[in-house]
Amino acid sequence: MTADHRFSGRVIIENVSVPAAEAKRGTDCDAEAGRIASGIIVKMIGRKPDLVRIHKKSIDARKKGSVKFVYSVCADVGAATDSEYEKLIGSGAKLYRKPSFDAIPGSEKAEGRIVIAGFGPAGMFCALELAERGYRPVVFERGSCVADRVRKVESFLSGGSLDTNCNVQFGAGGAGTFSDGKLTTRINDPAVSYVLKRLYGLGAPEDVLWQAKPHIGTDILRRVVENADRRVREAGGEIFYDTALSMSGGKPAAGGERINASALVLAVGHSARDTYRELMAGGFDVVPKAFSCGVRIEHDQSWLDRAMYGDLAEDGVLPHAEYSLSFREGDRGVYSFCMCPGGVVVAASDEEGGVVTNGMSNRGRDGRCANSALAVSVLPGDYGGTPDGAIDFQRSMEKAAYRAGGGNYYAPVQLIGDFFDRTPSKKLGSVIPTYMGGRVTPTDVRSVLPSFIGDMLDRGLRSFDRKIPGFASGGIPLTGVETRTSSPVRILRSETYEAIGVRNVYPCGEGAGYAGGIVSAAVDGLRVARAIISRFSPA
């Protein structure tokens, strides 16, 4: 094995565990993990590393009586020899590879502007990358800037009217702005580290760089989005809010005026149903895909902490508990999604006469309840296998939930005991739902759901109760409906990231069907930006 400058003399020591009870006794568990990792390196190569620091940190609460912190530790081993590297790798260490994302600018001259539709995570990171590389992008966002968006959303959540262009789904920062600000992702891409570092540089807390399940919180994320807006403008880009793009003859238009665009990035978000239909009418290749729908479940956070941590829950050494649960039967699964410790169930409607739920929490996660979506797989065969069928499937549940709630965006709620008994709930239990400050109607949530979703939720809840006893106790509320877990369609694109059969249009992010969350959407925004950079010369 030969040394490689990309490794920067660093290795990652994984699976270093420290009992959480040590923190109760006053031990600095982070420092203890560093000492353990240093000991492993001394044992393997006979000398201490120059520096150790936490690379990732998680909590293993699978055994309530033996909760532990689990670390990956990054260690600088300096100019290690080949044989020393071999010993370290033989002991299970991994080489730290320095991420590299450089794109060589192309030679094609951009006769028009680089236009981005949407300023969610995908559009935002695409705009940042292009602006900082001298491409002067112009962004059009159908919703409002952060300050105006917060005002409009808070008005709606307090019982005011719904703005169908600016709400929890649409506006600066995308749907993630009104969420827990989770930064977890399943994709394995070196750009993930780059995204986390950029978010930290834009104002996210430092621990997003090393927490295994990092989160920003909606209160901090709003400032991050404002800082990203400022940075795009400082670097020569432009952003226009409250301005929706339309497609006419394959060309973008805003405010009734055509835009001379050399490239158009479609980062429209997973709820841009009107855009999907406009693209299909314009000849774009849009196909249906699997997605998930279900309900929101809420527990008392203090109960969940005790259920997951036991006696350690009362000592203040652990963050509020969270969980990740799944159950599969054949081709279909049910799983927890977007779990928000200390958060609220938020009204995420963007169409009149439809109820949609999502989860949201502040950085402190200091609310009285924990909530999570319980989502069931929806396969193309469930809705006729067409893009229109996918959209209509979601919309029919949202409208049914609106009717079951009694109108005015009240959400239907059913206690789990009644859900199991197939009996409408008449009253609430001990856990008071947080949706819109309690604007809920006890009723029969099963009647809102297709039978296969209700039946799968039933079996999943019973399975989850075996994993966390009390999880599905009779008085726990289920609030409906959760339909926007991901885009129901995909806008097909080629290896150049351009839409199939349509030159110069780049489908991007979660709305195009290529991501599922803040980080993966941001990564896709970077991929598209670099495809454009590799093609065009800077402005």
pLDDT tens track of the chain, all 539 residues? Answer: 344 434 458 899 999 999 999 998 889 999 999 999 999 999 888 889 989 999 999 999 988 889 999 999 999 988 778 888 788 887 788 888 776 667 899 999 999 999 999 999 999 999 999 999 999 999 999 999 999 999 999 999 999 999 999 999 999 999 999 999 999 988 888 899 999 999 999 999 999 999 999 999 999 999 999 999 999 999 999 999 999 998 876 678 888 889 999 999 999 999 999 999 999 999 999 999 999 999 999 999 999 999 999 989 877 789 999 999 999 999 999 999 999 999 999 999 999 999 999 999 999 999 999 999 999 999 999 999 999 999 999 999 999 999 999 999 999 999 999 999 999 999 999 999 999 999 999 999 999 999 999 999 999 999 999 999 999 999 999 999 999 999 999 999 999 999 999 999 999 999 999 999 999 999 999 999 999 999 999 98
**Kind and range of the H or E run holding 122:** helix 121-132
**418 φψ region: left (φ > 0), alpha (ψ -120 to 50), beta (else):** alpha
pLDDT value for 8: 57
Residue 302 CA to residue 313 CA, distance in Å, equals 8
What residue ranges in 154-306 does DSSP mark as E strands? 238-240, 245-248, 251-254, 257-258, 261-266, 286-288, 291-300
pLDDT value for 249: 66
Asked if 454 and 400 touch (Cβ cutoff 8 Å), the reply is no
Backbone angles phi, psi at 115, to 5 degrees: -110, 135
**Kind and range of the H or E run holding 19:** strand 10-19
Which tokens sit at 534? Answer: 């590799």
Query: Using N-to-C axis directions, what is the helix angle for 82-90 and 29-45, rounded to 10°?
Result: 120
The residue count of the chain comes to 539
SS3 378: strand
Residue 365 CA to residue 315 CA, distance in Å, equals 17
Q: How many CB atoms lie within 10 A of CB 319?
A: 15
pLDDT value for 251: 79
SS3 298: strand
Residue 255 CA to residue 246 CA, distance in Å, equals 9
pLDDT value for 188: 82
Asked if 501 and 313 touch (Cβ cutoff 8 Å), the reply is no
Q: Which of 350, 355, 402, 348 is nearest to 164 (CA)?
A: 350
Residue 171 CA to residue 327 CA, distance in Å, equals 34
Sketch out the chain's domains with CATH numbers: 5-95 (3.30.70), 113-286+490-535 (3.50.50.60), 290-482 (no CATH)
pLDDT value for 173: 97
Contacts of 14 by beta carbon, 8 Å cutoff, 6+ apart? 72, 92, 93, 94
CA distances from 289 to 58, 197, 222, 525 (A): 32, 32, 31, 21
Residue 371 CA to residue 436 CA, distance in Å, equals 14
> What is the torsional sign of CA 378, 382, 388, 391?
negative
Contacts of 391 by beta carbon, 8 Å cutoff, 6+ apart? 273, 276, 277, 488, 489
Which tokens sit at 533? Answer: 């950079």
Q: CB-hemisphere CA count at 13 Å for 161?
A: 3
Asked if 46 and 66 touch (Cβ cutoff 8 Å), the reply is no
Where are the alpha helices (H) located in 3-115, listed in sequence order? 21-24, 29-45, 82-90
Asked if 195 and 526 touch (Cβ cutoff 8 Å), the reply is yes
Which tokens sit at 334? Answer: 């049910």
**Kind and range of the H or E run holding 191:** helix 191-201
pLDDT value for 99: 66
pLDDT value for 5: 39
Q: CB-hemisphere CA count at 13 Å for 152?
A: 22
Residue 194 CA to residue 347 CA, distance in Å, equals 32
Which tokens sit at 55? Answer: 């690379």
Asked if 89 and 95 touch (Cβ cutoff 8 Å), the reply is yes
Q: Which of 409, 354, 336 is nearest to 158 (CA)?
A: 409
Residue 27 CA to residue 233 CA, distance in Å, equals 46
Asked if 529 and 134 touch (Cβ cutoff 8 Å), the reply is no
Residue 431 CA to residue 453 CA, distance in Å, equals 24
SS3 519: helix
Q: Give the residue carrying structure tokens 């080949």.
A: 82
Beta bridge partners of 238: 138
pLDDT value for 86: 82
Strand-strand pairing, 113-117 and 261-266: parallel
SS3 199: helix
